[in-house]
A and B are shown apart, each in its own frame.
Chain A
């Protein structure tokens, strides 16, 4: 799908159960976000990179995703080292060492979490993730919202584009004026009305095909040996990193 460029691979990680991957992604993300020691965060980044390699994800696209995240992190590098008392000289620049370490730590942790999510979550299609969340007892309504918002966001975008094109063909040029705001308001309102109508029709189509409120995915729901192996290795990794962090004097 358009937003799922990483989900269609055939790697070992792609074939693992969605539940295991979601649980590990959640636990690792939580652990990584709590790390206070940069060497351990570096290890976490290495682990996440290893998973990306295991998933055989296209590196250019992975780097593009990382670049987006690091644009925001760059702002931290431009501010954190300059806040507080300058106690370290880097050539002509005097910076705050604690701020510098903080920026480094945040960079390592953020990149590790993004890589981890790409390797564990983005390697499953949204249908698989929806089914996995449902099996993990996440409320069914939430899972269905996730699945169908994703499907129909494209249809609604198309509807809005159609309205915008119709307005343009009738000479509408957006400016900073009340007329423009009113026109956009009308177009958004009409898109919502059409979306609501379509929602009704889709619900009818689902009911006519036996839908009773529960989404049944096509993926097999039994955990295989390889899934259990991934889970065991993942939990072992979690305990290992936690142990290292505690030895390094983590403050949590």
Chain B
């Protein structure tokens, strides 16, 4: 793939004393909206952690704009370009109020309090969340937390997003809001989900992480994969039959 922002080359990973979770994974990220499916424990979140430098692979290399990422400064640089939305929004929101949380990143990147506030408000407005600016983070609903978490990474103006099960535990309205936002975000992303309808709506291409390796999957194939998970080989009725 041309113009990749992040490239994973032959990445392998195993838990200390455990079996190999990722086996020679190759992936280029930077164009398009990519979905990632896989069974629980298959290594999807670990893959994200490796991209962000939170877990160390046993072997392989990670490249940012074609250059190998090794030093602390290079990792810091990578984290400025890649935004990571955690599975649990309570891990992502750690400041007392929404505006302080959204402004946290810009302040760390050297923005003045005035600039950081301005950027935070612009980002929140862009997502239709400006009314939440002065709310206490732990009082937000699950859906609001998820969208504010997204704001905390968008305010850093990343070039690529990693989204770990963003539609998890969302009510239909929040799920729709998130889907609408993802459809208009002009950024490439890699999105983990078990929600096949969500993936179909928000992703151009879907990979499956199976047996430690990545496989590109057609949507129809993935649907049948989902059916096998849900129904096994038992006879079952379809809603539209």
**Which residues of A are interface residues toward B (Cβ below 8 A)?**
1-2, 125-127, 147-148, 150-152, 154-155, 198, 201-202, 204-212, 216-221
Interface residues on chain B, number (Cβ under 8 Å): 33
A204 engages B96 (CB within 8 Å):
no
Residues of A close to B107: CB separation below 8 A: 216-218
By beta carbon, the residue of chain A nearest B54 is A204
Nearest chain B CB to A206 CB, angstrom units: 7
- From known contacts A209-B156, A211-B108, A220-B114, infer whether A151 and B94 are also in contact, taking CB-CB under 8 Å: yes
Q: Which residues of A contact B113 (CB under 8 A)?
A: 216-221
Given A126-B96, A150-B96, A155-B138: A209 in contact with B91 (beta carbons within 8 A)? no
Question: Which of B29-37, B98-106, B224-232 lies at the interface with chain A?
Answer: B98-106
Query: Contacting B152 at CB < 8 Å: which of A2, A154, A209?
Result: A209
User: Measured between alpha carbons, how far is A201 from B107 in the docked complex, in Å?
Assistant: 20
Q: How far is A2 from B97 in the complex, measured between Cα atoms in Å?
A: 12
Q: How far is the CA of A80 from the CA of B95 in the complex (A)?
A: 46
> Residue of A at shortest CB range from B156?
A209
A212: chain B residues within 8 A (beta carbon): 108
A219 to B103, CA, bound (A): 11
Cα distance, A126 to B137, chains bound together (Å): 14
Interface status of B194 (Cβ within 8 A of chain A): no
A204 to B48, CA, bound (A): 12
A125→B84 contact, CB < 8 A: no
Contact with A along B67-94 (1 / 0, CB 8 A): 0000000001001100010101011101
B-side contacts of A220, CB under 8 Å: 113-114
Q: Does B109 contact A (CB under 8 A)?
A: yes
Q: Say whether A205 contacts B100, CB under 8 Å.
A: no
- Nearest residue, chain B, Cβ from A198: B91
Question: Within 8 Å of chain A (Cβ to Cβ): is B116?
Answer: yes
With A205-B91, A205-B92, A207-B79 as known contacts, state yes or no: A218 contacts B99, CB within 8 Å: yes
> A209 with B86: in contact, given A125-B96, A127-B95, A220-B113 (CB under 8 Å)?
no
Question: What chain B residues lie within 8 Å of A204 (beta carbons)?
Answer: 52, 54, 91
Docked-complex contact B96 and A1, CB < 8 angstroms = yes
- A126–B76 Cα gap in the complex (Å)? 29
Task: Chain A residues near B159: list those with CB within 8 A.
Answer: none
- Given A204-B54, A208-B52, A209-B108, check contact A218 B91 (CB 8 Å): no
B136 at interface by CB-CB < 8 Å = yes
B-chain residues with CB within 8 Å of residue A219 when the two chains form the complex: 113
Bound Cα distance from A207 to B52, whole angstroms: 10
From residue A108, how far is it (CB to closest CB) to chain B in Å? Answer: 34
Let me know if B23 is at the binding interface, CB within 8 A: no
Interface residues of B in 172-201 (CB under 8 A from A): none
Assess the A198–B152 pair: CB atoms within 8 A. Answer: no
Contact partner, B105, options A148, A210, A221, Cβ 8 Å:
A210
Which of B96, B105, B108, B116 has the most CB atoms of chain A within a 10 A radius of its CB?
B96
In the bound complex, residues from chain B placing their C-beta under 8 Å from that of A208 are 52, 54, 79, 84
- Give the complex CA separation of A1 and B137 in angstroms: 9
User: With A154-B138, A209-B108 in contact, is A218–B156 under 8 Å at CB?
Assistant: no
State whether A151 touches B138 (Cβ < 8 A): yes
